[in-house]
Chain A
């Protein structure tokens, strides 16, 4: 069917688009080597892995490796935490990134724009381990900065490391502080890509600054926003281990609100070092991520076919 439509065979297409394909080649090789070649390794999630027999020689045990996730009785709570955190990260993160990109675009002084962009970009390069220490030094009870300020103001000390409820807020703030500068770059670039004539025409028609943003910039960004959201949703079941592990640490008092799939698996399998079980968790996350992306993409396709991924 398809062949008839385009009028070219697969081979003819390869010849015709050879230059484009050649340019694509490094990416194809990369994905093939790192994403497709290891795929058969998924098998490890279904065996009792033994170093000497290897992945395919070890005893097949079906879904036994998934059992521990089910019997933990925490699967729901963990999946819920993971998804909710990611949802907030994705939505707030993108919202803030768009907001910041628009603000940057409105800054007239080129010098000031560069400086503020750089400053916002910087936290992205700080290692999560250091971020963890930074937060601890700000918030800890005995010597923390925040408590130092509170004490000198004559107020009562605050004990966040024993208060589970405040951590969703803290984690979201830390995440946004770290990622917004970086995320806004893409949006800023696509604002730069908007045809200048449209904006000029709007100005001639008497649009003010807000109207320009509302009716021109935001609609032009819609495609970028949807695609980035779709990409991000694919990873919604994969928690940000670096952030959670380093900022929360292994403080069980905070687990009810901060425990995600990754941190739980890390704690419970670190002790007995079970490759198969860790892979089983990875597979579980991938399957859920796959389902979510397919569903969302399907919905997007129904509403606005141009913006769907495929």
Chain B
């Protein structure tokens, strides 16, 4: 019985793959664009390329995932005589496990998904975990990627003159943080065009607390202290942070004066005091649970989808999902007025910085036994339409399909619990807008509206070329990290004793004795070296 089912599915999969093939030709011309470049590459030995990504391996959708991988490997074997194996780093303690796996250097992984701002790309490159990718190598083994990335962008992937990363630079996304909230409830609260400031947010939470007493306005788990603190500062100044120094992004410049380094936690005292006061108010109002600092079992985002909480702090990309009428967002089915707005940090001050192109990038492990083949596989994953869509969406006709408008839809008989492998492979290191098919279920009107607004006010990330050398200051930074977490948690959740002024002063003096000024000075020195005075 089972066998029969599998064979039926396989047949279906094969039939369904026909239209994909047509697609590929329409997009990329009938000639195989790689044929010429790879004509003289010796691929006689069959190799397995291991790709490391953060994320949890699929469970409920494992069957679809296996089918997809089988099909993918068929294609990869045919084209470059290689197979892909995904090495998932589960979310629990992901950074430790990620770095530990890289430190093994025994060929466990070949392709490494990485990021300069949230996955230690530069520290790992410095530690020797990544292979230097010479221009010849890239031209030869990843020709399409080489072509599509501009020389300026390649420059942003260099450390000490060597390229280490292949950036995801052709994918529109916004990962600036903010609060997703119930727009319909905000309107009930008297905020006619929604929340547009932290003060509005207070009004909103107050209303929710009164009108919906059974709802925890925001069931936070105390990990968002940094995003909130940073968000407050962005909203109340023209601070632009430098990525990749520490998780608090505590150093940066000003929009008006980009190359003078400062730490806003030391200078913006009044603003921080005001912040501490407001968060105390939120805490006393009951925005989060009383024991929020020990709350580790929160499922706030899922609760938001079903209407059990009233806000979710995360980035724009997450909001684009929450605002769309997908099956998971049951609020739209149970409440026809339901609507989700987004208050982004920096809205009051018009301070939005576009994403660094190395927010997602692919590197090759220095321990890889087959770096050439790894590059070839990456080039296909990123640029071959058929492989790209198979890898990211699943098998066409089973997990997704295309409607008459060229939009991506779910096929008939599709079961979201078992068939949805859209994005399971977490290919956040090479998504490509040229090959993306827009998801028909997404609320594009609203999304495009916000994106347009962002495009109006944004500046490009200005420090792309700056790779801080922290060897002389990382002892300070370790202690500063600890102090930052320690105090920002108390401030951001209003869980401090004494007055707001006192806690901020205490925070600043702790930072000072931990060497925050030394770090600032050293960063300034490196800035001057790179950008001139």
For window 58-82 of chain A, which residues contact chain B by CB distance below 8 Å? 64, 67-68, 71-73
Task: List the one stretch of A20-28, A135-143, A213-221, A230-238 in contact with chain B.
Answer: A135-143
In the complex, the answer to whether B123 meets A73 with C-beta atoms within 8 Å is no
The yes or no answer to B293 lying at the interface (CB within 8 A) is yes
The yes or no answer to A268 lying at the interface (CB within 8 A) is yes
**Least distance between B512 CB and chain A CB atoms (Å):** 11
In the complex, the answer to whether A251 meets B293 with C-beta atoms within 8 Å is yes
**Cα(A64)–Cα(B289), bound, Å:** 42
- Against A, the Cβ 8 Å flags (1 = close, 0 = not) of B278-306 are 00000000000111011010000000000
Which residue of B has the minimal Cβ distance to A162? B495
Asked if A249 meets B294 with Cβ closer than 8 Å, knowing A48-B471, A71-B514, the reply is yes
The yes or no answer to A295 lying at the interface (CB within 8 A) is no
In the complex, the answer to whether A71 meets B476 with C-beta atoms within 8 Å is yes
**Least distance between B90 CB and chain A CB atoms (Å):** 15
Residues in A whose Cβ lies below 8 Å from that of B496: 253
In the complex, the answer to whether B481 meets A268 with C-beta atoms within 8 Å is yes
Q: Which 10 A-B pairs have the closest CB atoms?
A: A52-B128, A68-B475, A141-B290, A251-B293, A268-B482, A252-B486, A273-B99, A268-B478, A140-B291, A161-B291
Residues in A whose Cβ lies below 8 Å from that of B126: 50
In the complex, the answer to whether B485 meets A50 with C-beta atoms within 8 Å is no
**Cα(A273)–Cα(B129), bound, Å:** 13
6 CB < 8 A contacts A-B: A68-B475, A141-B291, A251-B222, A252-B489, A273-B95, A274-B474
**Least distance between B242 CB and chain A CB atoms (Å):** 15
In the complex, the answer to whether A273 meets B293 with C-beta atoms within 8 Å is no
Residues in A whose Cβ lies below 8 Å from that of B487: 252
**Cα(A198)–Cα(B411), bound, Å:** 86
The yes or no answer to B462 lying at the interface (CB within 8 A) is no
In the complex, the answer to whether B479 meets A72 with C-beta atoms within 8 Å is yes
Residues in A whose Cβ lies below 8 Å from that of B477: 272
Residues in B whose Cβ lies below 8 Å from that of A67: 475
Asked if A140 meets B481 with Cβ closer than 8 Å, knowing A50-B128, A51-B102, A253-B495, the reply is no
- Against B, the Cβ 8 Å flags (1 = close, 0 = not) of A258-270 are 0000001001111
The yes or no answer to B247 lying at the interface (CB within 8 A) is yes
In the complex, the answer to whether B366 meets A52 with C-beta atoms within 8 Å is yes
Asked if A264 meets B474 with Cβ closer than 8 Å, knowing A51-B105, A52-B366, A161-B291, the reply is no
In the complex, the answer to whether A64 meets B293 with C-beta atoms within 8 Å is no
Residues in B whose Cβ lies below 8 Å from that of A269: 478
The yes or no answer to B513 lying at the interface (CB within 8 A) is yes
In the complex, the answer to whether B105 meets A159 with C-beta atoms within 8 Å is no
Which residue of B has the minimal Cβ distance to A72? B479
**Cα(A48)–Cα(B103), bound, Å:** 14
**Cα(A72)–Cα(B478), bound, Å:** 9
Q: Which one, A140, A267, A268, contacts B294 given CB within 8 A? A: A140
The yes or no answer to B515 lying at the interface (CB within 8 A) is yes
- Against A, the Cβ 8 Å flags (1 = close, 0 = not) of B86-106 are 000000000110010011010
- Against B, the Cβ 8 Å flags (1 = close, 0 = not) of A38-65 are 0000000000111111000000000010
In the complex, the answer to whether A51 meets B103 with C-beta atoms within 8 Å is yes
For window 119-142 of chain A, which residues contact chain B by CB distance below 8 Å? 136, 140-142
Residues in B whose Cβ lies below 8 Å from that of A49: 127
The yes or no answer to B120 lying at the interface (CB within 8 A) is yes
**Cα(A141)–Cα(B289), bound, Å:** 9
In the complex, the answer to whether B474 meets A272 with C-beta atoms within 8 Å is yes
**Least distance between B506 CB and chain A CB atoms (Å):** 12
Which residue of B has the minimal Cβ distance to A246? B296
Q: Which one, B123, B294, B475, contacts A273 given CB within 8 A? A: B123
Most buried by A among B105, B123, B291, B474: B291
**Least distance between B250 CB and chain A CB atoms (Å):** 12
Which residue of A has the minimal Cβ distance to B100? A273
Which residue of B has the minimal Cβ distance to A139? B291
**Cα(A51)–Cα(B128), bound, Å:** 6
**Cα(A271)–Cα(B246), bound, Å:** 8
**Cα(A72)–Cα(B486), bound, Å:** 13
**Cα(A72)–Cα(B480), bound, Å:** 9
Q: Which one, A162, A271, A275, contacts B481 given CB within 8 A? A: A271
In the complex, the answer to whether A52 meets B490 with C-beta atoms within 8 Å is no
In the complex, the answer to whether B123 meets A272 with C-beta atoms within 8 Å is yes
Q: How many residues of A contact B (CB 8 A)?
A: 36
The yes or no answer to A255 lying at the interface (CB within 8 A) is yes
Question: A53-B128, A142-B290, A268-B479 known; 18 other A-B pairs, CB under 8 Å?
Answer: A48-B471, A51-B127, A51-B129, A51-B366, A52-B129, A52-B366, A71-B515, A136-B291, A141-B289, A161-B290, A161-B293, A250-B489, A252-B490, A264-B482, A269-B478, A271-B246, A272-B120, A273-B96
**Cα(A141)–Cα(B291), bound, Å:** 6
Which residue of A has the minimal Cβ distance to B104? A51
Which residue of B has the minimal Cβ distance to A48? B471
**Cα(A269)–Cα(B290), bound, Å:** 29
In the complex, the answer to whether A50 meets B96 with C-beta atoms within 8 Å is no
In the complex, the answer to whether B127 meets A50 with C-beta atoms within 8 Å is yes
Residues in A whose Cβ lies below 8 Å from that of B99: 273
**Cα(A275)–Cα(B474), bound, Å:** 13
**Cα(A50)–Cα(B125), bound, Å:** 10
- Against B, the Cβ 8 Å flags (1 = close, 0 = not) of A192-211 are 00000000000000000000
**Cα(A164)–Cα(B221), bound, Å:** 20
**Cα(A49)–Cα(B474), bound, Å:** 13
**Least distance between B491 CB and chain A CB atoms (Å):** 10
Which residue of A has the minimal Cβ distance to B126? A50
Residues in A whose Cβ lies below 8 Å from that of B514: 71-73
In the complex, the answer to whether A249 meets B95 with C-beta atoms within 8 Å is no
Asked if A255 meets B290 with Cβ closer than 8 Å, knowing A50-B128, A71-B479, A272-B481, the reply is no
Which residue of B has the minimal Cβ distance to A270? B96
Asked if A71 meets B294 with Cβ closer than 8 Å, knowing A162-B495, A268-B482, the reply is no
**Least distance between A79 CB and chain B CB atoms (Å):** 16
Residues in A whose Cβ lies below 8 Å from that of B471: 48
**Least distance between B448 CB and chain A CB atoms (Å):** 36
Most buried by B among A140, A249, A268: A268
Residues in A whose Cβ lies below 8 Å from that of B497: 253
Residues in B whose Cβ lies below 8 Å from that of A275: 103
Most buried by B among A68, A267, A277: A68
Most buried by B among A161, A252, A267, A272: A252
**Cα(A51)–Cα(B496), bound, Å:** 41
In the complex, the answer to whether B294 meets A251 with C-beta atoms within 8 Å is yes
Residues in B whose Cβ lies below 8 Å from that of A253: 293, 490, 495-497
**Least distance between A271 CB and chain B CB atoms (Å):** 5
Residues in B whose Cβ lies below 8 Å from that of A159: 290
In the complex, the answer to whether B293 meets A272 with C-beta atoms within 8 Å is no
Residues in A whose Cβ lies below 8 Å from that of B489: 250-252
**Least distance between B502 CB and chain A CB atoms (Å):** 15
**Cα(A255)–Cα(B487), bound, Å:** 11
Q: Which one, A52, A68, A249, A272, contacts B105 given CB within 8 A? A: A52
In the complex, the answer to whether A64 meets B128 with C-beta atoms within 8 Å is no
